[in-house]
A and B are shown apart, each in its own frame.
Chain A
Amino acid sequence: MDLGFKGKVALVTGAGSQIGFGKEIALLLVREGCDAVAVTDINIDDCNKTADEIKKLGKKSIAVKADITNPQDVDALVKKVIDEYKRIDILCNVAGGIASRVPYDKSKPEDWDKDVRLNLYSIMLMCQAVLPYMKEKKSGSIVNIGSGSTRMYAHGAGNTYAISKAGVDTFTKQLAFNEAKNGIRCNCVAPGPAPTNFIPGPDKQGMIDMLAKTIPMGRGATQADIANATAFFASDMSGYVTGQVLHVSGGSVLD
């Protein structure tokens, strides 16, 4: 299936981690034909590696260091990408993480703040900065990475993370509704557990395999699972799909 990415420019946040969703998404967008994929991360050394791999595939890329919880950084990042490629057709908001592991009953507003800033405000800032350029073209596709944790209840650490990601779900829908008239779509891919840096410790796959016993499909998510769904939503092949939250979690989340 031709995803129609020829001539398109994408921006992927959180593309530094070499075992993360962001890098996998960026590379898939390139393999499927995007002209240029700009990548950003707070960790610029790793992000440069991702950009180098994109260029090895024969496509254009720049890596930009940015702390996307900071409005100035976000504006500078988007300006740089626009200066370089003149447009952003696809925005994949991947950056995020568990910022506070303090259980909710012991946590303070400062702890909540960390999660909400990293996971929700960052995506809102990115969208605010990119939207004017999409509106100009009357076209654009935004894919946010949500989380299965919004529907999978767990004790202790990670509660505020889940709450911040539920905000991403609602932000996705509000944005989809508001921007549809401008030809801009916005959807959310909500991953189940995968062996990324999200899982602490060295034996990430081991942890996932343990969790897998409770997953109907009997395995954890892979980076490719998430990238495939994200690329499809980013493409015109899903031109009539907007405001949707798609759980990619092997049946762990069913409603």
Chain B
Amino acid sequence: MDLGFKGKTALVTGAGSQKGFGREIALLLAKEGCDAVAVTDIIDDVQKTADDIKKIGSKSIAVKADITKKAEVDEMVKKVLDEYGKIDILCNVAGAILHKDYVPLDEQKYETWAKQMDLNLFGTMHVTRAVLPQMRKLKNGAIVNIGSGSTHQYSFGVAVYAISKYAIDLFTRQLAYQEGKNGIRCNCIAPGPAPTNFGAVLREGMPPMPPEQAEKMRENMLAAFPLGRMGTPADIANITIIMASDVTNYITGQVIQVSGGNVME
């Protein structure tokens, strides 16, 4: 299926982690024919991702930016636009769980709430706001946000994160409704558990346990998954680039759970 990426420029946030969704999405956009894939992250590794994109044959620049800082975001987007003249596709992947202390919701520090919202919600909003004006000029654009299965899968310790991601679901829908008339689509991919840095952060917060016990816990968890396995970065990248492409031209405002049947609402 030709995804029609020829001539298109994409911007992918959170593309620094070498085992994360952002990098996988950026590389797949390049493989499927995007002319240019700009990548951004707060960490230096984002340069490696850009180098790998160039090896595939697409143009790329890596721009370091802290997406919680409006000024840095504006400068980052300006740099991409100066370089490529347009952004057709925006993948808002940057995000993380910032609390690993397994305490009840109400005992979580205010600072943690604020930091989590700053990164997952406001970060995505800063980037989107900066990219929108020129998408409106093009009368065309596809935005894909990365949400989270945690919005519908309840577990202790991730509540604040889940709330920030639920806000992404709603941001997706509101933006889709507002920008439909401008030819701009916005959808959200909500991943289930996957072997990214995310799990490592959660494990840090857990009480230490012997390796056999940890393995048992992992097996029990996987056995409870309807499809019996974790997601992979490729699972997320495949559907993200489909939603970024013109073959889904009539799909907007949708949240798609990519979690092997863990979440079906």
A associates with B: yes
Closest to B169 in A: A255
Let me know if A248 is at the binding interface, CB within 8 A: yes
Closest to A242 in B: B261
**B11-19, B61-69, B173-181, B202-210: which lies at the interface:** B173-181
- Contact call A180/B260, Cβ cutoff below 8 A: yes
Cβ contact of A221, chosen from B235, B250, B256, cutoff 8 A = B250
Give min CB distance, B257 to chain A, whole Å: 6
- Contact call A225/B250, Cβ cutoff below 8 A: yes
Closest to B1 in A: A1
Please give the number of chain B residues whose Cβ is less than 8 angstroms from any Cβ of chain A in the complex.
Answer: 39
Closest to A191 in B: B250
Query: Which of chain A's residues have a CB closer than 8 A to the CB of B32?
Result: 1
Query: Which of chain A's residues have a CB closer than 8 A to the CB of B185?
Result: 217
Query: Which of chain B's residues have a CB closer than 8 A to the CB of A250?
Result: 180, 250, 252
Mask of A1-38 contacts with B, CB within 8 angstroms, 1/0:
11100000000000000000000000000001000000
Query: Which of chain A's residues have a CB closer than 8 A to the CB of B261?
Result: 176-177, 180, 242-243
Let me know if B153 is at the binding interface, CB within 8 A: no
Give min CB distance, A13 to chain B, whole Å: 22
Closest to A235 in B: B1
Let me know if B57 is at the binding interface, CB within 8 A: no
Please give the number of chain A residues whose Cβ is less than 8 angstroms from any Cβ of chain B in the complex.
Answer: 40
Closest to A178 in B: B226
Which B206-236 residues have C-beta < 8 A from chain A?
225-229, 231-232, 235
Let me know if A60 is at the binding interface, CB within 8 A: no
Which A208-255 residues have C-beta < 8 A from chain B?
215-219, 221-222, 225, 228-229, 231-232, 237-244, 246-251, 253-255
Let me know if A137 is at the binding interface, CB within 8 A: no
For the complex, give the distance between the alpha carbons of A239 and B176 in Å: 26
- Contact call B251/A229, Cβ cutoff below 8 A: yes
- Contact call A192/B252, Cβ cutoff below 8 A: no
Q: Which of A215, A229, A239, A255 has the most CB of B within 10 A?
A: A239
Query: Which of chain B's residues have a CB closer than 8 A to the CB of A135?
Result: none
Let me know if A173 is at the binding interface, CB within 8 A: yes
Mask of A161-190 contacts with B, CB within 8 angstroms, 1/0:
000000000000100110011000100000
Give min CB distance, B238 to chain A, whole Å: 5
For the complex, give the distance between the alpha carbons of A239 and B238 in Å: 9
Let me know if B97 is at the binding interface, CB within 8 A: no
- Contact call B248/A229, Cβ cutoff below 8 A: yes
**B76-84, B119-127, B130-138, B239-247: which lies at the interface:** B239-247
Given A1-B238, A232-B1, 9 other A-B contacts at CB below 8 A? A180-B260, A181-B226, A217-B250, A228-B1, A229-B248, A232-B247, A243-B257, A244-B257, A254-B176
B interface residues, Cβ below 8 angstroms from A? 1, 3, 32, 173, 176-177, 180-181, 183, 185, 192, 225-229, 231-232, 235, 238-239, 241-242, 247-254, 256-261, 263-264
11 A-B residue pairs with Cβ-Cβ distance under 8 Å, sorted by A, are A1-B32, A3-B1, A181-B226, A216-B177, A217-B181, A218-B181, A237-B239, A238-B239, A241-B257, A242-B261, A243-B263
